[in-house]
A and B are shown apart, each in its own frame.
Chain A
Amino acid sequence: MEPRLAAYFFVSAAMFLLGVFTMVSRRNAIYVLMGAELILNAAALNFVAFARFGQPAALGGSPIDGQMFAIFIVILAAAEAAVALGIVLQLFQHFPSIDVTKPDRLSD
């Protein structure tokens, strides 16, 4: 049997929470980045799920919309990953570490 929309929500919510938890708790910048990827993908999963079960075509909706958003998110994630990795590299150049708690110059 085909799983219902709520099942997708549970999965995507779990992914989101895991991503957030990863971003908050991990010190390594790479893991933080991975947490961000998880959050993005949780959102993308939601879009795909809505595209499949969401709005009927009779109301003016189109299944292509959600899928298009998912593809945008994937592209965004790729671009973000590129930029973020660049930042991480710069971080490593300034501080000989990629521990995200070290660069705390914004405080004080």
Chain B
Amino acid sequence: MDFFDGSAPGWHALAILVLPLLGFAFNAFTCRTAFTRTRGHVVPLLAMGVALYCSLAIFKHAVIDYEPPARAAAGEQAAPAGGSLADPRWRWSSRDHGMSATVIDTGDLRVEAGITIDHLTATMLVVVTIVAFLVHLYSVGYMHGDLRFSRFFAFLQLFSFSMLGLILTDNLLLLFCFWELVGVCSYFLIGFWFEQEEPPKASIKAFMTNRFGDVGFLIGILIVGRLFGTFDLAELYARLQAVAEGSAQLPPLFGWSAGALLTVAGLCLFLGPMAKSAQVPLHVWLPDAMAGPTPVSALIHAATMVAAGVYMVGRIYFFFTPAVLAVIAGIGAVTALVAASIGLVHHNIKKVLAYSTCSQLGYMMLALGVGGYAAGLFHLYTHAFFKACLFLGAGSVIHAVHTEDMRQMGGLRQKMPVTYRTFLVATLALAGVPFLSGAFSKEMIVEHAILWGMHGNVAQWLPALVAIFGGGLTFFYMLRLMYLTFYGAPRDPRRFEHAHESPGTMTTPLVLLAVLSVVSVDWLPIPLFRGKTMPELLQPPPALASIVTGHAPEHGHAGLLLAFVVLVISVAVLLAGYTLYTRTYKRREPGPEAWVARFARTHRVLTNLYWFDEFYQATVVRLGSAASRAFTTFDVRAIDAAVNGVGRTGEAFAWFWGAFDRVVIDGLVNVWWHLSHAVSRMLRRIQTGNLQDYLAFAVGGMALVTLMFLFLS
């Protein structure tokens, strides 16, 4: 508790935030020096290492040293939430220690940039810094000899900074800023090899798709600001709590009820995570984003950035009304199923993994939607490690065979033993094979989905069915991927001959991540969390919005019986997936070709990715093109004409005044000049230099004066 009394967490968090930024600045400003060009990884690695150390320090104090409140009674629900926004004892806020900085102060609106550390923050910090550090390490080998080696690390650093800022900030507005920053880093890194054809297109697609979500997110933030007059999350929580207790009222807006307003705001806010976490129908950018370098796919598009959406939903969980949560659950379920089904047929190793990520993100959203707050975030935590491991493993394979097409791989098991073993561990963890980390989170998700189904109408069983069925799909497509890559006979002998195990900088992260995907939960006798479970740490905040809307959904408690049932179901589904795999690929009765022939129409739907891209091409892109053409016409016809008219008028005026200047002003000046010139020519004649002439003038003048004098007087 000592650690959290002072300002030490703030300084740790600040170091975590600032170091990657400094690393980025260093690489960016010294990119022309020989040191950075060849050793561009040194400073970023150091920065990430120190940030990792600081994260672990925070994690140790916030999570490992945490003593959960005593349970009320055996079998009862745990005592009030620990570590969430509701419990100030386990939350460190920079505001309490005078470390917040005022960013905007305009009378009514006051935005303070601050840091909040609770269990969720600490967990996310560890996930992000570990994966980021390992990806940095991996990139040293993977990007070796690349033309823009140092720039790659600069972008990685900028991304790490943005992502960590997104986690640490305590403010919706700043969260949005960091949200956009990670988006732009993703754009930079997807299009990193911009000389090729695919990456620039993919980066623009990712950026544009995210725009749709971000506009909704921003509108949601503005509605929140309008309703509550604050963007600060803790304050927002306090005010919503006051509304829920009936001691405060929401300001009237459009004459809608408080519940309707909260639902609309929640739906708008959810659009952001929907695009960022690649939920159907805004998932189309994620598979294309695989055009970027593989470490980027591992860091940004598997472990961290796409999970930011899930994190965000968890962060403002108290704000979502049951209606919004139902939408989240539905979209998550659809995403989990659609993405997993595409994963069954795709031939590109990275894209199968991308659809798998998409599907798992769907699982997380589903979990959050059905009320499994801890389950969703727990899955985010476990998924980060094994999915990063899978991507880095895929990168190692691509590095060896120089293709992403699995039809040209096969038999790599002997050639790449380390990659194979780590890949296998991560695959089993992803599928949720018991005793690996994925199993714990996935079974929790299934439990909560079933609970949700049990306490609602028939449609509410959909998430549970999807969660159960999806487990089998996941195992099958991952085994198919394993088979096509590592087992069987080499299908391209030339590439097979060339293949070799990757260097140590690449295999070390693989091994570490594989180990983490086993031990990141608490079943081993390692006293990692000192007897606490992750779900215990990630207690959901009170569902305030549900109280406001008046019908808080009852949510049963997962008992031991349910857990056992779920375990049995999961194992059965896994076995089903495995049997299907062995029959299809090992014994070939029937082989995959026969399956394709039998389900030709379904196969066509899947290989065409449900025609999502064609749909967007026909609607959004065409509409956008038509609109931009119309605007171009307007621009040329109206705006340009007006501008040209103004220009021509100005030209005419300028010509007139030019002529006036030339004729009148210059004329006057010239006349004066000619006059004085003529007079001077005349007068210079009398300056003869002859004394006698001067004398004559003097005498003549004197005579004149005398005469004048005489006549005038």
Contact = CB atoms under 8 A, between A and B. Distances in A.
B684 to A, nearest CB: 9
Nearest to B699: A20
B695 interface: yes
B699 A24 contact: yes
B687 A101 contact: no
Interface residues of B, number: 9
A2 interface: no
A49 interface: no
Interface string A21-34: 00111000000100
Contact of A23 (B687, B688, B690, B692): B692
B658 interface: no
Contact of A104 (B689, B695, B696): B689
B689 A106 contact: yes
Contact of A107 (B688, B692, B695, B696): B688
Interface in B663-703: 687-692, 695-696, 699
B687 A100 contact: no
Interface in A50-108: 100-101, 104-108
Contacts of B692: 23-25, 32, 100-101
Nearest to A16: B699
Nearest to A108: B689
A107 B699 contact: no
Contacts of A20: 695, 699
Contact residues of A: prevailing secondary structure: loop
A32 B689 CA distance: 16
A107 B691 contact: no
Interface string A6-46: 00000000000000100111000000100000000000000
A55 to B, nearest CB: 24
A100 B687 CA distance: 16
Contacts of B687: 107
Contacts of A101: 690, 692
Nearest to A25: B692
Contacts, number: 26
A43 to B, nearest CB: 14
B699 A104 contact: no
Contacts of B689: 104-108
Nearest to B693: A24
Interface string B642-656: 000000000000000
Contacts of A23: 692, 695
B683 to A, nearest CB: 13
A60 B687 CA distance: 47
B91 to A, nearest CB: 100
A41 B696 CA distance: 20
Contacts of B696: 24
Contacts of B699: 20, 24
Contacts of B688: 104, 107
Contacts of B690: 100-101, 104, 107
B285 to A, nearest CB: 90
Contacts of A24: 692, 695-696, 699
A105 B688 CA distance: 9
Contacts of B691: 100, 106
B692 to A, nearest CB: 5
A24 B688 CA distance: 14
Contacts of A105: 689
A25 B691 CA distance: 11
A23 B696 CA distance: 9
Contacts of A108: 689
A100 B689 CA distance: 11
Contacts of A106: 689, 691
Nearest to A20: B699
Nearest to A24: B696
A101 B688 CA distance: 10
B688 to A, nearest CB: 5
Nearest to A106: B689
Interface string B227-263: 0000000000000000000000000000000000000
7 contacts: A24-B699, A100-B690, A100-B692, A101-B692, A104-B688, A106-B691, A107-B690
A-B pairs, top 3 by smallest CB distance, nearest first, are: A107-B689, A104-B689, A106-B689
Given A20-B699, A25-B692, A104-B689, 15 more contacts: A20-B695, A23-B692, A23-B695, A24-B692, A24-B696, A24-B699, A32-B692, A100-B690, A100-B692, A101-B690, A104-B688, A105-B689, A106-B691, A107-B688, A108-B689
Interface of B: 687-692, 695-696, 699
Interface of A: 20, 23-25, 32, 100-101, 104-108
